[in-house]
Amino acid sequence: MRFPCFSPICLKFIASFLVVNAAHLASAAPLGYVDFLADDISGIESLACTEQVIYSPDNKFSYSSSFCDDAINTFSRNVSTGKLTFVSSLIGNKVTGEGLSNVESLVMHPSGKYVFAYGITGKPSSTQFPYHRTIYVYDRDSTTGLLSFKSELVGSLMGDAWNMRISSDGHYLYVGSQYGIDVLSVSGNGLLTVSQSLPKLSKLYSNSSVRSMLLSADEKFVYVGSVSSNTIIWYARDPVSGALSYAGELQPSGVSSGGNAIDSMGLSHDGKSLYIFLEPDSSTNTVLRHYSIASDGSLAFANEYISTPASAGEEFYCPSELLVSRNNRLVYFIDGCADNLQVWLRDTVTGGLSYIGAEEEEKTSNNNIPRNAFAQINNLSFSEDGWFLGAAVDRGVTTMDLTANTLLSAKSPAFVSANESFSISIELTNNGLADAHEVDVELTGNGLEFVTATKASSPLAVCNKTVGSIKCRFPALPNKAIETIDLSLKAPAVLASPLLINLTKTQAEINRSPASDSLSITVQPKAAQSSSSSSQASSSSSQVSSSSSSVPASSASSSSSSSAPAPAVNQPSSSGGGSMGAGWLFLLTLFAVMQMTRRPLKNI
């Protein structure tokens, strides 16, 4: 839903933004740019005023709504790269009344069988309101992705569908408007019927216009941000009937009815945190506020982040559409005044936030985001796998890659002695489009002692010993970057069996290949070698990568074939004997015999 920022207060903050040096916003690439399908530029003429982007459960298709072009667009998707290819459009006709016009909200049924779309329809007449607002149900072909009209909502909504949320079982659709909440039941074949209407949400104020509405992670509660009363209201949800019942409300401190409006809300997927944006009034700045969620759904203030020009890198002036990543490590939101996408780190224990950076148009970076790709972003949504972020912008659809595919590899000696100091070299490679943040590598091994960390190509990398392990953190790993660090270790005082060293990697961004997050190295004790093989083995090493499993010390690398150590009889001894000595003795004897056969025999 469009909420333009033309008030004097908002304009004041736009002016503040223009005079602030925003170079720091372009200092990082927290997101990877994929593509921008622009109206009238990409050969598509149905993308003007894009309101929303949604994805099919199998990630093979995407859909967008166009308010100005009265269209619902279908795209096929490259599941790996996230790139969209235009397929077709359903375009409403205001003259004949056919189809759906001024399309805004879209919702995908969890089964992928249906798409629900909100807009206006009806034939022209001489009455004051020739059209009516409604929700259309479309059948979806899972093979082609194409939509076909199925039915229209039975009954009428109380107002404009600013928000639509569907339960994970697909049985209930919740619609928030300027007049309250409508609960719609969804039949097995996708038909919609109004089952409950809540025109008065707040117990404190008479008007309860819904600006933002969210289902809790466990779907036991529905949270509503009211733009009129400036309260957060939560309703308990019956999982069987889908009915809502009032559970409580909270007016953020320092906010009064008619003051700061609750602009947007976001929930973490672990069910611990609710985040809200409070629009500024004449005397305050924009506020990002964090509330912790109790088991009964109630809220308690946890922290807040206030935007000021002095907050060096953390300005946000007209924020909205806050999303928490699927792994709960990152927060994304829009700044409509700056036309950028901001990324913040989230502490999974406290829910606290810290700024990473922002993506902007036409900045000098590896991403090269084109002009208008972030102009007036109306909505953000994740692909079903959480790898990509779709932005509904005024001129079309922009896709960003959220993944950082970091590869972990390590080198170590093949053999060590008890109590011997040795080194392991750890290498991290970011093969993704997005930068990686808070990349942690934990090393464990029975009895290992951490001495020091040296040769870090990243000066910010820090290693510390914890109970039973060694942890190294790389605060940031830019896309396509390679970082290394050497760990000086000491083997256990008693080493009678092979030493198994395990390395585990975690990061804030999603890694598409979780199998690459760990690896194991087996280091053999030197005592297991025969004395004849010590000089050769001491100079060998083992190299493994996270694409391989546990690798014995004899392996040269993860790409080479594994072979057992050669028997001692085939290796030279320190005294020069062994099989080589026997060979020389045989040759000398043969030479002597040959010489004897060449001499003439004496007469006897």
The 3-state DSSP class for residue 199 equals coil
pLDDT for 128: 57
Tokens matching residue 256: 């009064």
pLDDT for 542: 60
Give the Å distances, CA to CA, from 158 to 180, 231, 456.
Answer: 7, 20, 62
pLDDT for 437: 94
* Exposure on the CB side of residue 462, measured as CA atoms within 13 A: 6
Q: Which DSSP symbol is given to 252?
A: P
pLDDT for 280: 67
pLDDT for 278: 83
pLDDT for 132: 81
Enclosing domain of residue 514: 406-570
pLDDT for 574: 38
Tell me how long the chain is. 604
pLDDT for 598: 40
Q: Is residue 488 part of a domain?
A: yes
| Single-letter amino acid code for the residue at 355 | Y
Q: Which DSSP symbol is given to 561?
A: P
Is there a contact between 450 and 469 (Cβ–Cβ < 8 Å)?
Answer: no
Q: Is residue 210 part of a domain?
A: no
Number of folded domains in the chain? 1
| CA 571 – CA 569 distance, rounded (Å) | 6
Using CA atoms of 331, 334, 338, 341 in order, give the dihedral in degrees to the nearest 10: 50
Low-confidence stretches of the chain (pLDDT < 50) are 2-27, 126, 256-258, 364-366, 530-532, 534-535, 537-540, 548-604
Q: Is residue 393 part of a domain?
A: no
pLDDT for 6: 43
Q: Is residue 185 part of a domain?
A: no
Q: Is residue 423 part of a domain?
A: yes
| CA 156 – CA 198 distance, rounded (Å) | 13
| CA 160 – CA 178 distance, rounded (Å) | 7
Beta-strand relationship, 518-525 and 482-490: unpaired
Is the sign of the CA dihedral 489, 493, 499, 500 positive or negative?
negative
Count of other CB atoms within 10 angstroms of residue 334: 27
The 3-state DSSP class for residue 515 equals helix
Tokens matching residue 72: 């619902």
Tokens matching residue 411: 């080198």
The 3-state DSSP class for residue 591 equals helix
The CATH number of the domain where 432 resides is what?
Answer: 2.60.40.1510
Using CA atoms of 54, 35, 331, 16 in order, give the dihedral in degrees to the nearest 10: -120
pLDDT for 379: 93
- How far, in whole angstroms, is CA 508 from its chain's centroid? 8
pLDDT for 402: 94
Q: Is residue 86 part of a domain?
A: no
Q: Is residue 190 part of a domain?
A: no
pLDDT for 600: 39
pLDDT for 392: 96
pTM (predicted TM-score) = 0.82
Q: Is residue 506 part of a domain?
A: yes
174-186 exposure pattern, b = at least 16 Cβ within 10 A, e = fewer: bbbbbbbbbbbbb
| CA 389 – CA 62 distance, rounded (Å) | 12
